[in-house]
Every structure is written in structure tokens, then in C-alpha cells.
């Protein structure tokens, strides 16, 4: 069978809690075990592992189908997987004790399931029941809020190598009652495990959410917890057409979380942006609102010829300077304090970058920045806007459309903008060629050449 010798389908159809399904019977653990076993053995590259939807065989799950033979396995456990890979895939002998051979029974079960399913859909429709996807959307913030509170309290660090609710509550200075409810909810979300009243971090939680781990993302993620408060004012902000949240100010901790969040977003992306733009002819770069300096750092690392200047607000400058120092490029990246909305931007730059900047400002403010950037660029110099760019009718992509509301509640006059808007503003500022560069991920580049 081309292009693979085997194609394996594992059912991972999610169903509402309490309804029999392959995931509820453990199909994700089977999937992981299969992946591990295939990657480790001789079948790597010859066996394609794919998840699939319900086949109506849910009572016998987890179900795996192996093609080209069309062999069905049922009631699988991760401990069966090594035998299937070794005996069936490597030596052509299906594992008889778990192969489901009764095709007639399978067909009958599948048909009965389909009939019941269709009857259930019709009954819910007649009764005017809210569809599951809407019900889920309306509650989608529950798990999110639960994790944000755990991060705010630094629960995962307090869990450490394990402890009971009382011990963890004492460490985070919160009530035993509240903490034990939160801990149990975190277990239900798969972020902790619990055994006999003792809670432990999962490997993922320990890696990404605890102090001392080199991959700890907590500070950057706290930015999302910080802006949550403003999102709670969305209804009034929509009524007013502008943000209504009291200015929570930028205390040093909030600023640290915000810049850590920028670093999280930008550090892996920046080298891709530099590669997409190319270093040819780039010697002087101005990075407006450089944040953690991720983009200037990427330019400096891409070419020893490039000198970058970052302009950011005074309260951010010391954080930026530290990120630049840690990256070992202080000789090529200078950090200055200032307001990009005011004053002269200088002259003779080959490239001016506005990464995740324009959405903070109004159309008029962006036009003014573009005009001043045009003046500050050398002939043939490039203005680069990176942002979440809306389709012309502004209804998508979804991230850009939702981000626009993020700006409604968090800024004076910011929004996501569409490509036609950017093109018009850039051309009106004197740039001749304007083009768009697609990148993987939620943002794209719009480049104007002077
Ligand atoms: C959304 S962050 C983007 C950071 C960085 N460009 C990136 O993509 O990772 C916006 C940055 O602009 C800075 N900023 C906001 N208003 C500014 C202004 N008027 N002048 C200079 N910098 C400003 C903020 O402090 C922050 O570092
Ligand atoms: S959920 Fe897997 S067969 Fe129905």
C-alpha cells in the first residue's frame, strides 16, 4: 500500500462527559503508546497513525483499525500496543485475543448506534435544546479561568513534589476549602494528579508552570490573567465604543509579565521574520516598541553587519536591556527610552519595524507614524508592519477579529486592521511598493518600500 505499508486509525471522538466513547475508555493513551512504539521501531516512516471519528463501536472502545488488512482491534489498552506493533505490523500476525472478527456483530452495533444517534439529534432538535457547541462556547472560560487563578496563586510551584490541600493552601496563603476545590478542578482538567488526598504536578505542569523550571512560562501567561480584568468590561466597552476599564496602571510586575508575554510570542517567530525579509542591504534597523528586543536580537544574530536601535517607553527599557544583554548582542543593539508617537525618528535607516504595534493605535496615529517612518528611512529602505491582519470584510481570521476586542477593552483607540487599510495608509505616506508576506502563525507582514 503506497505511500505507507500500514495505515492505523484510532478513534478519538470526543463526546459529552458521561457518554460512552473511545476517549473515555482511554484511546488517547493508546494513541500515545502506538506513536512511541512506532517511532522507536523499524516501522518509522512506514506506518501512518491517524485519529478518526466515531464508528459506532463505542461500547467496545478504544477501537483501532489497521489497513490495508482492515483488522479491527477492540477494548485496547496501552499494554497491548507493543504486541500489536511487534506481532502484527512487524511479523504479519494479528493479535488474535483482541482482534474483533465478528463483522456481522460490528455492523449491527454500528447501525444501531447510528439509528439511536439520529433519533437523539432529532429529539433534541424538536425540543429546542441548545446545541453542544454553543453550550461549550458559553462556558469556555471556566477551564481558562481555573488555570489563570492557579497561575496567579502559583499553585503548581506550591504543589512541587506533592502535597495535600492543607499544605498547598498554607504555601499559597489561601483557604484550605477554596484550594482543595481548585486542586480537584485542576485534576479534572488533567493539569494535576491526585492519589489518596495527595496532589502532584503532571510532567507538563511541572515543566511549564513551576518556578525553577527552565521552560517556566508563568510570567508570560500572567499577562493573560492581567488583561482578563479588562475583558470583563467588554459589554460596557461595546456600549461606549471605547475602553471603560479603570486604568490599572503599569506597576513593575504587570510590565514584567507583559514583556515576558511579548518574549513568549516573539522569540521563536523573530528569526522567521528576519529570514523572510532577508539581510541584504540591511545595516541600520529601528525597532519601534521593541518590547523584549526579540526582533532586534534576531537581526543582530543573523548578521554581524546589522546595528539595531530599539525605542520603547521608559518603564520597559531596563527589561529590554536585560533581554538584550542575556542574548549577548549588546554591542549591536542599543535601547533608548521615548515615545514613538512624538518627535523625530532620526534618519538613514534601512529598515523600520513595527511588530505588534499598529493594533495599539488609531488609524490617525498609525498614519502619522508611517509618515515619520518614511522620512526616517534611507532611499529604498523598508517599513515592516507585522500584525494580526483582518480580511477586507473584517470577519476573520478569528484570532485577528477577537484581538480587535482585546484592543477595544485594553487601549484608548486600538483595533485590528485590514490589509486594504494598511496598504492605503502606507501608500498615502509616500511609499511606492507595498507587498504582503505570509508567515506561519496568526500574523503576517506588510512591507512598504521607500
Ligand atoms: C505589543 S508590544 C510588542 C513588542 C515587540 N515589538 C514584539 O513584537 O515582541 C508593544 C510594545 O510597544 C511599546 N510601546 C507602547 N506605546 C509606545 C510608545 N508610545 N512609544 C514607544 N513604545 C511604545 C510597549 O511598551 C511594548 O513594548
Ligand atoms: S467513540 Fe469510538 S467508535 Fe464511537
pLDDT along the chain (450 residues), means of 10: 91 92 97 96 92 97 97 98 96 96 97 95 96 95 98 98 97 97 98 98 98 96 95 96 78 94 96 97 98 98 98 98 98 98 96 98 98 98 98 97 97 97 98 96 97
**C-alpha triplet 241, 245, 248: angle, nearest 5°:** 145
CA distance 310 to 317: 9
> Which ligand 2 atom minimizes the distance to the CA of 61?
2
The reply to whether ligand 2 has any atom less than 6 angstroms from the CB of 64 is: no
- Check: CB of residue 282 under 8 Å from CB of residue 318: no
- Check: CB of residue 146 under 8 Å from CB of residue 189: yes
Ligand 2 center from residue 114 Cα (angstroms): 11
- Show the cell assigned to 315: 518603564
Ligand 1 center from residue 9 Cα (angstroms): 47
**DSSP 8-state assignment for residue 97:** G
**DSSP 8-state assignment for residue 2:** -
3-state helix vs strand vs coil in the chain, percent to 5: 50, 15, 35
CA distance 358 to 259: 17
Scanning the structure block, which residue is given the C-alpha cell 500500514?
6
Q: What is the side-by-side order of every strand in the sheet holding 6-11?
A: 47-52, 6-11, 64-67, 71-73
CA distance 356 to 291: 10
CA distance 357 to 340: 10
Closest CA to 300 of 235, 353, 245, 374: 353
Q: pTM for the whole thing?
A: 0.91
**DSSP 8-state assignment for residue 100:** -
Ligand 1 test: best mutation among 258, 288, 313, most atoms within 8 Å of CB?
Answer: 313
Strand pairing class (71-73; 64-67): antiparallel
The reply to whether ligand 1 has any atom less than 6 angstroms from the CB of 415 is: no
Phi-psi region of 343 (alpha: psi -120 to 50; beta: other; left: phi over 0): left
The reply to whether ligand 1 has any atom less than 6 angstroms from the CB of 340 is: yes
Distances (CA, A) of 432 to 355, 373, 383: 21, 14, 11
- Show the cell assigned to 385: 508592519
The reply to whether ligand 1 has any atom less than 6 angstroms from the CB of 226 is: no
CA distance 115 to 56: 10
Note the pLDDT of residue 271. Answer: 98
> Which ligand 1 atom minimizes the distance to the CA of 315?
25
Ligand 2 center from residue 137 Cα (angstroms): 23
74: exposed, middle or buried (Cβ count in 10 Å: 0-12, 13-18, 19+):
middle
22 three-class SS: coil
Torsions phi, psi for 295 (to 5 deg): -75, -40
Task: For residue 286, count other CB atoms closer than 10 A to its CB.
Answer: 26
The reply to whether ligand 2 has any atom less than 6 angstroms from the CB of 61 is: yes
Say what angle helices 218-231 and 252-266 make with each other, to 10 degrees: 110
The reply to whether ligand 1 has any atom less than 6 angstroms from the CB of 319 is: no
Ligand 1 test: best mutation among 357, 358, 443, most atoms within 8 Å of CB?
Answer: 357
- Check: CB of residue 426 under 8 Å from CB of residue 434: yes
> Which ligand 2 atom minimizes the distance to the CA of 54?
4
The DSSP element (H or E) to which 6 belongs, if any, is strand 6-11
Ligand 2 center from residue 11 Cα (angstroms): 6
CA distance 75 to 377: 66
The reply to whether ligand 2 has any atom less than 6 angstroms from the CB of 58 is: yes
Closest ligand to the CA of 64: 2
The reply to whether ligand 1 has any atom less than 6 angstroms from the CB of 355 is: yes
CA distance 378 to 260: 33
The reply to whether ligand 2 has any atom less than 6 angstroms from the CB of 89 is: no
Note the pLDDT of residue 427. Answer: 98
Ligand 1 center from residue 355 Cα (angstroms): 8
Ligand 2 test: best mutation among 26, 63, 74, 106, most atoms within 8 Å of CB?
Answer: 63
Task: For residue 121, count other CB atoms closer than 10 A to its CB.
Answer: 12
Q: Which residues are within 8 A (CB) of 18 and not within 5 positions of it... i.e. 6 or more apart?
A: none
Amino acid at each position: 500500500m503506497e505511500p505507507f505499508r500500514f495505515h492505523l486509525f484510532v478513534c478519538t471522538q470526543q463526546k459529552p462527559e458521561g457518554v460512552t466513547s473511545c476517549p473515555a475508555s482511554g484511546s488517547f493513551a493508546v494513541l500515545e503508546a502506538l506513536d512511541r512504539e512506532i517511532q522507536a521501531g523499524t516501522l518509522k516512516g512506514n506506518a501512518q497513525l491517524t485519529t478518526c471519528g466515531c464508528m459506532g463501536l463505542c461500547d467496545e472502545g478504544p477501537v483501532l483499525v489497521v489497513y490495508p488488512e482492515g483488522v479491527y482491534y477492540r477494548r485496547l489498552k496501552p499494554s497491548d500496543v507493543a504486541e500489536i506493533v511487534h506481532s502484527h505490523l512487524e511479523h504479519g500476525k494479528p493479535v488474535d485475543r483482541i482482534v474483533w472478527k465478528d463483522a456481522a456483530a460490528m455492523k449491527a452495533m454500528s447501525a444501531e448506534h447510528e439509528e439511536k444517534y439520529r433519533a437523539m439529534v432529532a429529539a433534541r432538535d424538536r425540543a429546542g435544546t441548545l446545541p453542544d457547541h454553543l453550550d461549550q462556547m458559553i462556558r469556555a472560560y471556566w477551564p481558562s479561568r481555573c488555570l489563570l487563578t492557579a497561575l496567579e496563586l502559583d499553585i503548581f510551584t506550591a504543589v512541587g513534589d506533592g502535597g495535600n490541600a492543607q499544605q498547598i493552601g498554607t504555601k499559597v496563603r489561601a483557604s484550605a476549602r477554596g484550594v482543595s476545590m481548585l486542586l480537584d478542578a485542576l485534576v479534572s482538567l488533567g493539569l494535576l494528579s491526585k492519589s489518596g488526598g495527595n496532589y502532584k504536578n503532571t510532567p507538563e505542569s511541572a515543566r511549564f508552570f513551576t518556578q525553577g523550571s527552565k521552560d517556566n512560562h508563568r510570567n508570560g501567561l500572567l499577562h493573560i490573567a492581567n488583561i482578563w480584568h479588562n475583558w470583563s468590561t467588554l459589554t460596557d466597552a461595546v456600549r461606549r465604543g471605547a475602553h471603560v476599564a479603570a486604568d490599572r496602571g503599569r506597576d513593575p510586575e504587570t510590565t514584567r509579565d507583559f514583556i515576558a508575554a511579548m518574549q513568549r510570542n516573539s522569540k521563536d517567530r523573530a528569526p522567521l521574520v528576519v529570514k523572510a525579509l532577508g539581510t541584504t542591504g540591511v545595516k541600520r534597523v529601528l525597532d519601534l516598541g521593541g518590547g523584549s528586543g526579540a526582533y532586534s536580537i534576531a537581526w543582530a544574530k543573523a548578521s554581524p553587519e546589522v546595528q539595531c536601535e530599539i525605542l520603547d517607553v521608559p518603564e520597559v527599557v531596563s527589561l529590554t536591556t536585560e533581554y538584550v544583554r542575556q542574548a549577548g548582542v549588546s554591542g549591536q543593539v542599543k535601547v533608548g527610552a521615548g515615545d514613538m508617537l512624538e518627535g523625530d525618528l532620526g534618519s538613514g535607516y534601512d529598515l523600520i519595524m513595527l511588530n505588534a504595534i499598529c493594533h495599539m493605535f488609531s488609524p490617525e496615529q498609525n498614519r502619522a507614524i508611517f509618515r515619520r517612518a518614511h522620512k526616517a528611512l534611507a532611499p529604498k529602505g523598508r517599513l515592516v508592519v507585522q500584525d494580526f491582519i483582518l480580511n477586507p470584510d473584517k470577519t476573520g481570521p478569528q484570532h485577528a477579529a477577537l484581538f480587535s476586542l482585546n484592543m477595544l477593552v485594553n487601549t484608548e483607540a486600538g483595533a485590528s486592521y485590514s490589509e486594504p487599510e494598511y496598504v492605503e495608509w502606507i501608500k498615502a505616506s509616500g511609499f511606492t511598493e507595498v507587498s504582503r508576506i505570509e508567515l506561519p502563525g496568526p500574523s503576517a507582514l506588510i512591507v512598504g518600500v521607500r
